[in-house]
Amino acid sequence: MAGLTLKGIKKIYPGNDYYSVKDFNMEIADKEFIVLVGPSGCGKSTTLRMIAGLEEISEGELCIDGTRVNDKAPKDRDIAMVFQNYALYPHMTVYENMAFGLKLKKVPKAEIDEKVRKAAKVLEIEDLLKKKPKQMSGGQRQRVALGRAIVRQPKVFLMDEPLSNLDAKLRVQMRAEISKLHKELQTTFVYVTHDQTEAMTMGSRIVIMNKGEIMQADTPQNAYDNPKNLFVAQFIGSPQMNILKAVVCEEAGEVVAKLGALNIKLSEKHQKALKRENQIGKDVYVGIRPAGINMLSKEDNASGTVFEEEIIVAEMMGSETFLHLDTQGNRIVARIDAHHKVTSGDKVRLEMPTDKIYLFHGETEKVIK
Ligand SMILES: Nc1ncnc2c1ncn2[C@@H]1O[C@H](COP(=O)(O)OP(=O)(O)OP(=O)(O)O)[C@@H](O)[C@H]1O
């Protein structure tokens, strides 16, 4: 069991003229489940590999349990890593695969046996112990890879996209299994994925990265409710937040976001913030989640911004329907309850309530509160 401290960690690969990881600072508490998430190339694997000791740290300090480990070899860091390709030895049985690391460490046979059987029980692979990797499914192989990590009882588990080779259904199942495993083992987990749903459902905290930088480190709920910037707003949530580029205007004493012919009404708080920050006349990104948009009937009164559009596509999802519309030249998606019977081509009346609107600076893309 251990916490991790990353202080000003940077990585520049030899021959590159840019930092793959820029100034990564973070305290990871003991027993946390941290998920590093972001698009391809954002530096999440590099960060994980530096923690593992598989990649040299160019600048900064990494501590495990308060001890600096920058110069320690991977095997001396008390960590275990699970990779996306499982990296099992094909000629060994499941039992041998799981026992291998302990054997190298010269752990007594009886102790190895106890540890392997205990891990196999936790992962429900006891009946696979005599099989070889090629006789097993992807999900089973992934369990064995996890088993191999568990038997070593590391201080920290590192996982790099461990589920990306599995089909969608198995991925969902293994997601829950890994969360359960984390609870059982009571160990620190650092997990890398590019999949925001995986991050949201598994992490006690998620670290959203872009271009080598941390965009936000937060609980999944807070990252969803209070994104710090446009990148996080668009990355977290599915379908993603609608973003409309508008201009801040003041008309008859009221500050609005002008989107073509549509004046988007704003909350008192937003209006004050825009005035305070001298944003009148400047560009602003208006964000609204698909679920934040209300469907109105003809007679409904609404205090927010009301607009009428023709449905381009209505995607029926069972309990809900996603409406794809075009407003003032911008494609937007609204998520409505399936009891509204609508279809492509219908004209609908919708509302953007002021309290569901997010605003981001046109230049810095930071949230305006
Ligand atoms: N061995 C390497 N040598 C040079 N550049 C590298 C090396 N490994 C990664 N990079 C570069 O560092 C940046 C970050 O890569 P990294 O693999 O950490 O990203 P990632 O977020 O894990 O992406 P992915 O999800 O595609 O694996 C990328 O620009 C990548 O091209």
Each residue's pLDDT expressed in tens, for the chain with a length of 369 residues: 589 999 999 999 999 999 999 999 999 999 999 999 999 999 999 999 999 999 999 999 999 999 999 999 998 998 999 887 778 899 999 999 999 989 998 999 999 999 999 989 888 899 999 999 999 988 889 889 989 988 988 999 999 998 888 888 888 888 988 998 899 889 999 999 999 999 999 999 999 999 999 999 999 999 999 999 999 999 999 999 999 999 999 988 899 999 999 999 999 999 999 999 999 999 999 999 999 999 999 888 899 999 999 999 999 999 999 999 999 999 999 999 999 889 999 999 999 999 999 999 999 999 999
CA 44 to chain centre: 11
Q: Which residue intervals of the chain bear CATH 3.40.50.300?
A: 4-235
* Atom in ligand 1 nearest the alpha carbon of residue 194: 25
In CATH, the architecture of 242-368 is Beta Barrel (2.40)
Mutate which of 11, 12, 42, 215 to test ligand 1's pocket (most atoms within 8 Å of Cβ)? Answer: 42
Q: Which residue intervals of the chain bear CATH 2.40.50.140?
A: 242-368
Which residue in 235, 209, 224, 228 sits closest to 19, CA to CA?
209
- Going by alpha carbons, the residue nearest to atom 16 of ligand 1 is 43
CA–centroid distance, residue 315 to ligand 1 (Å):
36
Three-class DSSP labels, 249-281: EEECCEEEEEECCEEEECCHHHHHHHHHCCCCC
Report the predicted TM-score, pTM, of the whole model to 2 decimal places. Answer: 0.92
The domain 4-235: what is its CATH number? Answer: 3.40.50.300
Report helix, strand or coil for 237: coil
| ipTM for the predicted complex | 0.98
CA–centroid distance, residue 44 to ligand 1 (Å):
8
Which residues, judged by CB distance below 6 Å to any ligand atom, belong to the binding site of ligand 1?
A: 13, 16, 20, 38, 40-46, 194
Tell me how far CA of residue 166 lies from CA of 16, 170, 201, in angstroms.
Answer: 33, 6, 17
Mutate which of 13, 161, 192 to test ligand 1's pocket (most atoms within 8 Å of Cβ)? Answer: 13
CA–centroid distance, residue 20 to ligand 1 (Å):
7
